[in-house]
Structure 1
Amino acid sequence: MQTFKVPSSEVPGYSAIYRNSLFKDGTHGGEFAHITTAYELFQHHLAIAPKSEFLGTRQFNPADGSFGAYEWLTTTDAAEYVEDFGSGLDHVFAKYAPDAKGYGTQQPLGMYANNRYEWSLAEFSAIRSRRYTVGICDSVNVGSADYIINHAEISVVVCSIDKIPRMFDRMSITPSLRVIICMDRLDCSRINSVTQAFCAESAGMLRKRAVELGITLLDMDEVLEMGRATPTPACPPTPSDICTMCYTSGTTGEQKGVLLTHQGLIHGSRSCHLSLRLSDTTHLSLIPLAHCMDRYATYTFMYGGVRVGYANGDRALIADDIQALRPTVLVGFPLLLNGIYESMSKATIGAKGVTGALSRMAYRSKKKRLASTGNLSHGLWDRVLFNKVAAKLGGRLKTIISGAMSLNPEVINFFRAALSCNVVQGYGQTETGAAGTIQRLDDFTSGHIGVPNPGNDIRLRSKPDFGYLVTDSPCPRGELMIRTKSVFAEYLGEPEKTRDTMDGEWLATGDIVQINTTGTISFISRAKHHVKINNSCWVSPERLENIYVQHPLVQSLFVDGHDDYNKVVAIVVPDSAEFVPWARTVASSTAASLEELCTNATVVQELTKSLRIYSASVGLSVDEQLGAIYIEPMPFRERNSGMYTSLLKLKRREASKFYAEQLKKLYTEVGGLFVASSL
């Protein structure tokens, strides 16, 4: 058993309390007890790795727009920068935003940019003077950045130069904004991928417009000089102080500002370090820093020493960033990892001829060896084949950590075999500072999200309306509840929503899970994403998506249901490499395009039939079979990026609105009048 079941802890409607089996008392023990804030964690990293490479960015060649090797700041360099810039921030707030509001006696510092080392330096500088950061993200919807600035009452923003014109244009609706600090030199003397669109003249126009708008516009170098000229004493935070405020992704409604304390983030990162115990880690920062997951990962790795290399901001060049950095750990989310898997598997186990046959033989051999011995390496097959595959991701990967959603077990098994590295899944929410559960490194199974992090208690709450009960046998099922010091302080300005999220001292996650016989936890679905179809049966579209996406002809899909109908329907994006040759055979047309095949009635009918046969083979009920489908030739993100959060999670409400016409036709096929989905 990987979890410890606390004796006699069951109460009606709730399961027993479960803890990490290695930390049965529900605490961390005494290790790293002296670290209680992110400021102290930074000092710890400075003490253990003062001269080591810490924060890295890739050289940029403006002549051809290419990126070169990583250049590094040592931890000592970063510490000096933090002291100087932190002092400069003290002067900026005192001189230009003396009336800045905030939470309690603390002031917020807005952060508005893609991932880069200046983001992290500015955050540690804010922490050094007991301020907290607020990540500003404009990928959720058009007005998201404005909403965050207003809701958090931000007076000072640190941003990249490309964000400044937009903020100037929106000044009339963001009245709290007083100061903009540009991460890039305003004289454009340092060219990077962001500043290449600007010149000294256009930067000068920004200065002029700032004066006209009554905004103080500085760059980070100017703030550094303020701090160096007149240093101020550090004012370190306390454990109960706010470290950062992150906004929820918006998948289930309007964004909420989640206030996370130093105690919470340190508790979570410490517990994750005690689970993984990684040291001398090289980490690629690519998940948006406006959210907490990437920062949580960095904090976790800082206990044992870390080099953080920042992605260049172009998702299409992530593979190039990986090659340049050669990370030892990759923290990602399923959509990213699925993309890597698709590329690698097509070139190996999905290839034709000798390459495909040899790859499949090697893959089966390594999976069998791993299952019997727990050994990730294989002397023969690694030398002959898989070392070349691993080299495409730098050749040094030891661990892949996946969060946000469930990862297909086939993807996990492929990475373990092809890359000779372990893959672990974890679970967390913004409200838990990204901390919750994590899979053990010595566990090579799949299909679950691990066990409680050390120091975290979990239990389940029955959801009888959905058919999930803590008394289900052999596996209790219900809503996941978490009790931990990582739980957020509150939603800013929304006490009722804060109370609704808590059940006493327990956070109600809104996610349905089950406790497996091994003590691991398997994710089932979001409770808010359940729908009742008109035969009074509850189904989980999200769960169905995770199952149907494993069909070889499917790349991704959006399942929709409504209580006016007794069938669920789906928008299906096919895997073009598998789908096109199959569909051309079905349509008896060797030259038909992908778009033509997607609208071919016979192809739609046969794919629907194939998906129904598949659903029966994996044990889905009749109610969970797809009543009708629409085949979408273009991936969802390419068709409409607004349907995804910045963490690439599907926003169901937006998808339902975008495909309203297609859904109307599908529901007409299954019978009844169309009513817009309430998801």
Structure 2
Amino acid sequence: MSKSFVVPSSEIPGYSAIYRHPEYKDGTHDGKFADITTVYELFAAYVNNNPKSEFLGTRKYLANTNTFGKYEWLTTTEVAELVNDFGSGLDNIYSQYAPELNPVTGQQPLGIFSLNRYEWNVSEFSAFRSRRYTVGITDTTGVELSEYGINEAGVKVIICSIDKIPRMLDRIKLTPTLKVIISMDKFDCTEKTFSNRAFSKASIAKLQAKAESLGISLFDMGSVVNLGRATPTEPTLPKFQDYCTLCFSSGTTNTQKGVLITHQNFIYSSRAAIISDNYPEGTYLSYMSLSHVFERYLLYSFMNETARIGYFTGDIANLLEDMQALRPTVFATAPVLLNRIYNKLASATIGVKGIKGVLLNKAVKSKINQIKSGNGYRHGLWDKLVFDKIAALFGGNLKIVISGAYFLHEDVQNFLRACLSCNVIQGYGQTETSGGCTLQSIDDISSGNIGIPLPGIDVRLRSIPEMGYNVTDSPCPRGELMICSESVFKCYYNEPERTAETMDGEWLATGDIVAVNPDGTISILERIKNIFKSGLNIWIEPEALETIYNTHSLVDSSFVYSNDEETELVAVIVPDPEHFVSWAQAIIGNKQVSINSICTNEKVVGCMIEQLKLHAVKNNIIKAGIISLVHLEPAPFSKVNPEFITPSFKIRRHLVTSHYKPIFDAMFKRLGTSNRPQFGVSDQHAED
């Protein structure tokens, strides 16, 4: 029986039938939360429904030990008062320094430039209070990206963590629209934070003097709050069709796109997520970038119910420590992090040798089989012996883990379900859909799919015959995923032609190739722009291959490459240092050699290629998908060049390809691919 509802007689030539959530067959939401039409109304309703409840939590930085304390909480009432006062202060700031409306949007933008912290969300709620919209500014992929966002959006007022200010002032000529900078951190240095720990009253005084000399008005958040208290203003609340945020997409294949999203878009997508299932009430850890849609979509979704939000301390390396301090019930992340967690846990369990390894393998298999049989996530024996210790590393209180951004390999999904003793589900969405489109239900124990359409969201496929994907394919229709919903964005900022290219009538063309499985769930196959045809005339899906290769314990990350002139695949492999170094040193017979030297050792490289080939065979990768040569890169892609990785942890393929092009060319020359034998059939598997 199909898990999705198929709308009768909705097929048209070149397009599949329309798929919907089975409980919302008319394609609309029910009346739950229908009185909430804007994100500000959502915030106000959350405060009213949960007075004086713990809401936003942070760990105080302890400067004397360079550590963090326990989570401390602002209540809903305290946050509401802060939003009102800071919002009034912003009204005064805009009135004096930036009264003009943006000519494109007819509203005023507020830039927010910081890692996740409670001030980020207080700032956006304060902006919404007066019908402003936010512009999430990020520099995670390079200085120029922050300047691009400020200039493109015409930002005049920006709120940021204090560590961003010196560089902004040094490069102020490159952001001519900027007039006001507001620091989230206090200028009096009475409270040390992760962002201001390197600052003193003297260094801040120099910043203030420099800002004044440059004609930039510099405030801290506390002074703006005091201004709002001294000169309060009446709210000018947004309407549902007003813009809520301008979000610059990750740009994996092209230049940045400014996606304009309305309050209606966000409310519709977050409501769809929360009415689709009974999510556990409790605690959510916020670490995925608030500058992008996915994290805010999740926060808004959980604000429809009772949830408190704890922010990470700013360093991914300390994420487990934050989880142990917070003990979240819900954790959302990207597959890249779950793959790394899998590699570490797998090497400590199913990768262990000897009697202990036999027992741990038995424990994992037994737990996975129990879950697949529908008998729950708790095992009377193995949890006490093995899995409770693993779950404790992640706080010991997880009820659900949500994976977004791209697909998660089914072996990783099932393994983590066993280790964490909770369900790990997958979903799908884009910036242009204001968050989610499809999601597995919290009781769905299937794997390798992104679930079914959320309530009120229509999904269909469009044939891409030139790539061999057709909606008439059997047993699974295949094609480009198309979305029609009130959650779909309104337009790209100031780019009507680009908007028109993305839309097919009322349908958003996502650029992702998917298949509808016999049970009605949807599986991602590849992004259209990332698929390439090899010299064997076979379509290669590099990201699908990378998802599999990345599950090898010796691999941290990978980048698979070829082109239409070559018959072989090559790759850049970033080894997992924890497991790779000792493995490679044993091959060389020298425990003193560095990872840089190891990565250029021909014997190690050859053994790594053999490991990857065995892994390919084990995972039924077709012969055309087996890597022939590798370049071992000792540094993570983000260290080689921060611009290689998007804020949502995807690889910018065009930049990586350009950087490693000489290395790829040398590997192809070494292979002599023009003389290589042809494999012939695209569905021939490695073990044939």
The answer, yes or no, to whether TM exceeds 0.5 is yes
Q: Is the 8 A contact 1:283 1:329 kept in 2?
A: yes
Displacement of 1:452: 0.7
User: Structure 1, residues 416-462: CA drift from partner, whole Å, max 9, x if none?
Assistant: 11221110111111111122111111111111111111110100111
Paired position in structure 2 for 1:677 = none
Matches within 5 A, 1:23-422: 23-101=24-102, 103-353=104-354, 355-422=356-423
1:224 is aligned with what amino acid? Answer: V
| Rounded Cα–Cα distance in structure 1 between residues aligned with 2:359 and 2:614 | 30
Alignment CA distance shift 1:10-1:310 (3 Å): same
Alignment CA distance shift 1:419-1:627 (3 Å): closer
Q: Is the 8 A contact 1:187 1:204 kept in 2?
A: no
Matches within 5 A, 1:495-510: 495-510=496-511
Paired position in structure 2 for 1:437 = 438
Q: Is the 8 A contact 2:54 2:75 kept in 1?
A: yes
Displacement of 1:565: 1.6
| Rounded Cα–Cα distance in structure 2 between residues aligned with 1:351 and 1:49 | 48
User: Structure 1, residues 15-38: CA drift from partner, whole Å, max 9, x if none?
Assistant: 111011121111111111111110
Q: Is the 8 A contact 1:277 1:304 kept in 2?
A: no
| Rounded Cα–Cα distance in structure 2 between residues aligned with 1:319 and 1:589 | 33
Task: Report the more deviating stretch, 440-449 or 621-630.
Answer: 621-630
Identical positions, percent: 49
Q: Is the 8 A contact 1:101 1:154 kept in 2?
A: no
User: Structure 1, residues 265-323: CA drift from partner, whole Å, max 9, x if none?
Assistant: 01100111112322432011101111111111110101111111111111111111111
Q: Is the 8 A contact 2:242 2:263 kept in 1?
A: yes
1:549 is aligned with what amino acid? Answer: N
Paired position in structure 2 for 1:676 = none
Task: Report the more deviating stretch, 193-202 or 265-274.
Answer: 193-202
Displacement of 1:111: 0.1
Displacement of 1:187: 2.1
Displacement of 1:541: 1.5
Task: Report the more deviating stretch, 546-555 or 517-526.
Answer: 546-555
Paired position in structure 2 for 1:625 = 626
Q: Is the 8 A contact 2:280 2:399 kept in 1?
A: no
Q: Is the 8 A contact 1:468 1:477 kept in 2?
A: yes
Q: Is the 8 A contact 1:82 1:122 kept in 2?
A: yes
Task: Report the more deviating stretch, 383-392 or 179-188.
Answer: 383-392
Q: Is the 8 A contact 1:541 1:561 kept in 2?
A: no
Task: Report the more deviating stretch, 466-475 or 224-233.
Answer: 224-233
2:340 is aligned with what amino acid? Answer: G
Displacement of 1:465: 1.6
| Rounded Cα–Cα distance in structure 2 between residues aligned with 1:187 and 1:607 | 55
The TM-score with structure 2 as length reference comes to: 0.94
1:43 is aligned with what amino acid? Answer: A
Q: Is the 8 A contact 1:13 1:461 kept in 2?
A: yes
| Rounded Cα–Cα distance in structure 2 between residues aligned with 1:346 and 1:410 | 14
Task: Report the more deviating stretch, 629-638 or 190-199.
Answer: 629-638
2:272 is aligned with what amino acid? Answer: S
Q: Is the 8 A contact 2:343 2:552 kept in 1?
A: no
Task: Report the more deviating stretch, 269-278 or 301-310.
Answer: 269-278
| Rounded Cα–Cα distance in structure 2 between residues aligned with 1:113 and 1:209 | 21
User: Structure 1, residues 596-641: CA drift from partner, whole Å, max 9, x if none?
Assistant: 5433334434443453454455444333332322233333334433
Q: Unaligned 5+ residue runs, structure 2?
A: 675-688
Alignment CA distance shift 1:201-1:598 (3 Å): closer
Q: Is the 8 A contact 1:140 1:250 kept in 2?
A: no
Displacement of 1:539: 1.6
Alignment CA distance shift 1:258-1:354 (3 Å): same
| Rounded Cα–Cα distance in structure 1 between residues aligned with 2:588 and 2:228 | 70
| Rounded Cα–Cα distance in structure 1 between residues aligned with 2:587 and 2:344 | 26
Alignment CA distance shift 1:617-1:279 (3 Å): closer
Alignment CA distance shift 1:204-1:645 (3 Å): same
Alignment CA distance shift 1:212-1:576 (3 Å): closer
Matches within 5 A, 1:588-627: 594-616=595-617, 618-627=619-628
| Rounded Cα–Cα distance in structure 2 between residues aligned with 1:387 and 1:550 | 23
Over the residues paired in the alignment, what is the CA RMSD in angstroms? 2.0
| Rounded Cα–Cα distance in structure 2 between residues aligned with 1:164 and 1:100 | 25
Alignment CA distance shift 1:581-1:151 (3 Å): closer
The TM-score with structure 1 as length reference comes to: 0.95
1:319 is aligned with what amino acid? Answer: L
| Rounded Cα–Cα distance in structure 1 between residues aligned with 2:180 and 2:107 | 17
Q: Is the 8 A contact 2:115 2:314 kept in 1?
A: yes
User: Structure 1, residues 197-237: CA drift from partner, whole Å, max 9, x if none?
Assistant: 11111111111112111111111111111211122111111
Displacement of 1:573: 2.7
User: Structure 1, residues 84-119: CA drift from partner, whole Å, max 9, x if none?
Assistant: 111111111001112353543210000001111011
Aligned with 2:197: secondary structure? Answer: helix
Matches within 5 A, 1:388-537: 388-537=389-538
Q: Is the 8 A contact 1:466 1:538 kept in 2?
A: yes
